[in-house]
Structure 1
Amino acid sequence: MHEPAQPSTSDQLTRVLYGDNFLQEHGFWRRLLTTEPFRRSGGGTPDERLALSYHRLRILNDTLDSG
């Protein structure tokens, strides 16, 4: 008798991170992270890069608060 194959480490981590609805959860983050603020390059002065990082964090925070 053959035992059922054990899920791979990748499959297990995916389930832990995204729950049972991987496509919906992954799609949400993929759509968010392909919006304009996240597409811009990280170039610029250190102050500009810092401002962009905080802008992106505020977007993430607002998104999480509204969901």
Structure 2
Amino acid sequence: MTSATPTVVGPFVKATASGQQGNCVEVAPLSDGGRAVRDSKNQRGPCLHFGPAQWTAFTDSVKTGA
């Protein structure tokens, strides 16, 4: 059984701390509560999809400096 790929349900947003160097990622919410991540320089390129639990684990690790 194959599960459906979640769809992007909101706009992609670049972090305000990214600056203007062009080495940025953008994040958008997905229909399953996860997040899609893409390269800001290649907006039509591939996206990485993270489920809700994966995204929470990642952001928690960033917040704690892990």
TM over 0.5: no
More strand by share: 2
Which structure dedicates a bigger proportion of its chain to helix?
A: 1
TM-score (norm 2): 0.29
Structure with greater Cα Rg:
1
